[in-house]
Each structure stands twice: as structure tokens, then as C-alpha cells.
Chain A
Amino acid sequence: MSTPTTSFGREAAAALSRSKNEPAWLIAWREEAGELAAKLELPKPEKMPLTRWTLDQYGTDRPSKTVSSAADLPAAIAELLPEDTQGALIVQHNSSVVFTRLSEELKAKGVVLTSLEEAARAHEKLVREHLMTAYKKDEHKLAAVHAALWNGGVFLYVPRNVDIEFPVQALLFADDADATFMPHVLIVADTNSRVSFVEQAAAELNAGEGRTLLHNAAVEIFAKSGAHVRYAAVHHMDAGVVDVSYRRAVLDNDARVEWIVGDLHNGNTLTDTNSVLQGNGSASDSKIICVGTGSQRISLTTRAQHIGKSSESDMVTRAVMKDEATSIINGITKIEHGSTKANGQQTEKVLMLSPKARGDANPILLIDEDDVKAGHAASVGQVNADQVHYLMSRGISRKEAERLIIHGFLDPVVSEIPLAGLREQLHRILERKLG
């Protein structure tokens, strides 16, 4: 069974950190997080009470065996790796990172790709300067728990002016319902650097009824002046996993961050994808798709916070709801006072495939500056009958016509995934979820 976590707090967090031989600074840092975890409340996402979600099964630290070559990875993991994986790769299996690959050429340029646990020792300064400064450990209970327990994890540092050609790939995989699975991805893209990062979170628990695993994860991206970071994520875990994923990007002057997210998880999902446009001329673009099936409950929030002048954000969310799935889709564009000439746009679209499904799109504009542009569009609807008719009038069956339209609805995001192999995989996941 999972650790009974009612007693989780300061002591437990510190003891675990010590047992893993973490550096002193991190032990103290985790200790503080443990204390916060014991006293903070759960977050309160719009119209989605979390009271009945199983959010207290943290599991225990169960690291997996490291391997020295990709060929030695367990079959379940190897199957998830797209064939065109030629770039850098890091793999987490349950509670620890088991494999890392980075070319000598990139190492020579100063690129760092390691587990976050390793980086906490080897790159203390960079890690301490950034870790959970965008997603703060005192935001709410889930953030504090994450801070106290994050394990494995990814640290990517891209030095100034370095352009990484192939996407860096992270595969985060769980197959043990008793293991703590809380990866943290920390990316620091230095001035004028370029990188695409592809994250895949997958879990095959084969656990019995009523077993749940909490995937309490976070991503933090720091894009320094003029840096461009493209972050693609695909989440497809078993229904027994609760997916909590907080994603934050902080952008300096003229930085650009693109989020391309497939929230295709099969269990309850709470994700929050947020760009903080700190710098002048910074820009973020978020494209998110989601498919809800069964009795899934999904809270999906995208945010853009404009602080810098002439900053731009665009957010597009497209969700398909089947069966009895419920989703609350929030888009929040916040333009702070002083962020003149900012431009924030957002669109949320929900396609309902069943009368019992629920979908709610909430566009929210919070604007404290006059000299800005902002816009939103939201819609919740069914498959368009005229479109179905048009396709059928060319000989395509109703079933195939609907399939084309539903997949097409998601394509503007799917087609943006930077790895062809992962795109194929995404199509397979969609076929499976959409049936």
C-alpha cells in the first residue's frame, strides 16, 4: 500500500531527503516544503472541487535500475520511444532517472542534461536560483507536496547562443502504483539560445481496482533574453493515475515560449499552463488539446500574465468530451498595469460527443492597462451536421466523416508536435481514446 500520508510533514520530508543523500541545502529546502504541505490547503480550481479526488497517495521512494544504453531499457519503455529519437534523451522510471543521453558535441558546447537530483549536487547554483521560483512551494498543498517529494526529474541548461537542433526528449514512465512519481522538469535557456523539448508522461500500472497513483508534477522554463523554447508534452497515463501538472514559463526580454500540450491522460486531470511575460517584447503561444472519456474530471487552465511592454500571448485550447467526462477549460489573460502595447488572445473550443458529457469554457480577461489589445472566443458545441453532410455527399460514411471531423478538430495542435514519431504516437493515442 501507499504510504499513509496524514502524518506527512516536516520530519518525513527531511528524513526522506537525508536517506537519499541529498545535499544539505536541499534537505533544509524539503524540510520547509514538508512543513508547508502539512498546513496548506488544496488549490481551488474554478468549478472543479478536488475534495473527492484521491490526492494523498504519495507512494514510497522506489528508484529503478539505471541502464547504460537505450537498448537495455525495459520493453514497456522502449516501445514508447519514437523511432526517430536521435537527439538527447532522458528517461525516468518510477522514482528515479534510469537513462540519460547527450551527445559529446552538445556537452562540449556546455549543454547540461541530467536528472534534477543530480543537478542539485552538480549545478547547485543554477538549480537554487531557479527551482520553484516560478511555481512556488507555498502556493498550495499540492505545490508544497511536490517540493517536498519531487524525484528523478530533468535539468536542462542551454548556454548562451547555443541552438540545439534535434528536440530533447524526456520520457517519464511509471509502472509501480506504490512508487512516488513526481518528476520536475527544470529548463534554463540562456540568452539567445534555441531548444525544443518533448516530454511524454506515461503510466501502465496494471494495478487492481481502487489503486491510485498521484503524478504530482511540475515544469518550469526560464527563457532568458531572446531565447526560444518550444515545449511539447503528451500525457497518457492509466485511469488509476491522477495527473497534476503545473507548468510555468518565465520570459525575459524578447524571449519566446511555445507550449504544445496533449493532455490525453485517462484519469482525473488538473493542469495549469502558465506563461509569465516578464520581459519587453516577449511572446508566448500555447496550444493545448484534451480528450475526456469515461468518467474523467478535467480541470485545464491556460494563463498568460503580461508584465513586459509589447508582450504577446496566444492561447488555444481544444477539447473533445465523450461518455460522462467533465471538463472545465479556463483561459486567463492578465495584463498588468504598465504592460503597454501588450496583446493577449485566447480561444477555447469544446466538442461534445455525448449528451452526458460536460464541457465548460471560461475565457477570462483581467486588464489593468489601457493601451493594449486583448480578445477571446469560446464555444461549446457538437459535431456540425452540415460538415458531416458535406463529407457524406462525397461518399464517406457517417462514422468516417465524424472521425475525420473530430480528429481534424484536434489537428491544429497535433500537427505542431515537433517529433514526427511522437506525432504518430499521438495519432494512435487519439484513435484509442476516441475509438
Chain B
Amino acid sequence: MSTEFEIRGLKATIEGKEILKGIDLKIQGGEIHAIMGPNGTGKSTLASALMGHPKYEVTDGEVTLNGEDVLEMEVDERARAGLFLAMQYPSEITGVTNADFLRSAINARRGEGNEISLIKFIRLMEGKMKELEMDPEFMHRYLNEGFSGGEKKRNEILQMMMLEPKLVILDEIDSGLDIDALKIVAAGVNAMRSEERGFLVITHYQRLLNYIKPDFVHVMMQGRIVKSGGPELAERLEAEGYDWVKEELGIVDETVQQA
């Protein structure tokens, strides 16, 4: 079944302050959508609100994944329904090894009585780590603890590859990655491209989009998508910055801070 993900009129607040001011976006399986935009315009907030982070309160709008109401679901239910967010700042968790964590996550979606065997799991994890050129020792390291910025990002992609979600949100997956790592991570993402899977890629740089080719590019300002286009839009933003967009739309302060 091909995936269909739809956001309609999504508004969200944090500590009473409205950050998302009505987002509309439709992602079909097989599509890659990129979101770009200056700092502080609500990109990570959109990602977090979709995933259900408790700090963000959704005040209006609808989100559906294959017809199911996402906003009704608890965070873990969203994940099991197929949502995945590679976070801009993943948490570090002492004492929980990467392997134990991922096995719990896989078994949570497989359900009781249908757990993956240990040997199968280890083979799967080793295989994916190899694709991402990760040192096997990362299997037994505590989750993200002491990982470098780039290692954390690679570990997020490892999780994506093992959990096989339907809708993947990548929040600045390219930050902290050196150029070789960027290629490896992009190859991992591209290998996951399929009719069943949609992608929402948040980035500041065209560079990532050279490797992960988007079908659509959206610009976010003031907590809204203010402009959408094809890959050429990202190229123009890279070359010229955001001033021309602001001028075109009559925006002075692009952050969500304005009244």
C-alpha cells in the first residue's frame, strides 16, 4: 500500500506562544519533500509536533497517515503507525545499549509473542551498521552517550533503516556530518526510497539535496510554509539566500517572534 501523509491547518504553541501558524502539506509514498528556512522559523517545531513531543501543544489542524488520525495517538503509537523523526538533538541515555534499545523498539512494533530472535536481530543490526560504515562497537555502546555529532546522526539513520517507517522526518541530518559521512547517510536514505515511504527532509543546505534529490522544496517563515517549488527553488536559495523570498512576500522579520 502506498503511503499518504497529510497535514492540514496545523497550529501549535509552546508555553502558550504560537509557533506553527497553519501548516498544510501532503506527502505521497515515494516522494521526498525538503523544508528549508532561516533559523527560528518553526522547522524543528513542526517535526516535534508531528512526533508528539509533550512540550508542544497542537491547538488546531489535522494530521493523518493513511487515513489514521495521528494527533489522537500517543508518541509510541505514532511511531508504531510508521512515523519516524531523526532528531536534530538526539538524547543520550546512560546504561541502555544501542542494541538493547533497538531490539526493544523492533519488538514493540512486532508485538508480544512475535519478538525477533536474538540472532536474527544481531545479523540485521550488523548488516545495517556495515552499510553505514559504523564501527561494530557502537552496538554495545550506551545510546548516544559520548557519540560525536556525526556519530549521533549516523545512529539516527541506523534506527530509521532498522525500523522501516512509512513517513520519515529528517531534521538537519546533515549537520555535523563530514562529506564522506554525508554521502554514506544519503546512500542509506536513498536505499530506503520506495512507494511505501515518504520523506520530509529539513535542511539549511543544498549540499544534502545534491545527494538526496527532493521532488518538492518548501520554504518556512513565521511558522508557515510561505513558498513551494521544485528542486530549483533550493538551488536559488543556496545561491541568493532568503532576501528575495522575503521581498517577494513582504516579510520583514521571518522568525516566529513577530506578533
- A and B: partners? yes
A interface with B by C-beta (< 8 Å)? 384-387, 389-398, 400-401, 404-405, 407-412
- Give the size range of B's interface with the partner: 20 to 34
Given contacts A385-B54, A387-B91, A400-B108, whether A392 and B75 have CB atoms under 8 Å apart is yes
Contact of A386 among B79, B91, B104, B108 (CB under 8 A): B91
A384–B91 CB distance below 8 A = yes
Instruction: Pick from A390, A394, A398, A407 the residue with the most CB of B within 10 Å.
Output: A394
Distance (whole angstroms) from the CB of B93 to the closest CB of chain A? 5
* Per-position binary interface string of chain B over residues 209-246, scored 1 when its CB falls under 8 Å from any chain A CB and 0 otherwise: 00000000000000000000000000000000000000
B79–A412 CB distance below 8 A = no
Contact of A395 among B76, B94, B95 (CB under 8 A): B76
Complex alpha-carbon distance, A400 and B159, angstroms: 18
Closest B-chain residue to A412, C-beta based? B95
A410–B95 CB distance below 8 A = yes
Residues of B within 8 A of A392 (CB): 74-76, 79
**B208: Cβ under 8 A from any A Cβ:** no
A404–B100 CB distance below 8 A = yes
Residues of B within 8 A of A407 (CB): 95-96
Given contacts A389-B54, A393-B79, whether A411 and B105 have CB atoms under 8 Å apart is no
A405–B79 CB distance below 8 A = no
B79–A395 CB distance below 8 A = yes
Distance (whole angstroms) from the CB of A217 to the closest CB of chain B? 29
**B142: Cβ under 8 A from any A Cβ:** yes
Closest A-chain residue to B102, C-beta based? A394
Residues of B within 8 A of A398 (CB): 74, 76
A405–B96 CB distance below 8 A = yes
B142–A408 CB distance below 8 A = yes
Q: List 10 A-B contacts (CB under 8 A).
A: A391-B104, A391-B105, A392-B74, A392-B75, A393-B75, A395-B109, A398-B76, A404-B104, A405-B96, A408-B95
B interface with A by C-beta (< 8 Å)? 51-54, 74-76, 78-80, 84-85, 87, 90-91, 93-96, 100-102, 104-105, 108-109, 142, 159, 163
* Ranked 5 nearest A-B pairs via Cβ: A408-B95, A411-B95, A395-B79, A408-B96, A394-B105
Given contacts A385-B54, A396-B105, A397-B76, whether A391 and B93 have CB atoms under 8 Å apart is yes
A397–B108 CB distance below 8 A = yes
B105–A387 CB distance below 8 A = no
Complex alpha-carbon distance, A157 and B200, angstroms: 66
B54–A408 CB distance below 8 A = no
Distance (whole angstroms) from the CB of B154 to the closest CB of chain A? 16
Closest B-chain residue to A410, C-beta based? B95
Closest B-chain residue to A408, C-beta based? B95
Residues of A within 8 A of B91 (CB): 384, 386-387, 389-390
B108–A396 CB distance below 8 A = yes
Complex alpha-carbon distance, A82 and B85, angstroms: 43
A396–B104 CB distance below 8 A = yes
A394–B95 CB distance below 8 A = no
Residues of A within 8 A of B87 (CB): 390, 393
Distance (whole angstroms) from the CB of B197 to the closest CB of chain A? 16
Complex alpha-carbon distance, A409 and B142, angstroms: 11
Contact of B108 among A390, A395, A411, A412 (CB under 8 A): A395
Contact of B51 among A387, A391, A393, A401 (CB under 8 A): A393
A395–B142 CB distance below 8 A = no
Residues of A within 8 A of B94 (CB): 408-409, 411-412
Distance (whole angstroms) from the CB of B18 to the closest CB of chain A? 21
Contact of B53 among A384, A389, A397, A400 (CB under 8 A): A389
Residues of A within 8 A of B85 (CB): 393
A389–B95 CB distance below 8 A = no
Complex alpha-carbon distance, A401 and B143, angstroms: 13
Distance (whole angstroms) from the CB of A402 to the closest CB of chain B? 11
Residues of A within 8 A of B95 (CB): 405, 407-412
B93–A390 CB distance below 8 A = yes
Residues of B within 8 A of A400 (CB): 104, 108
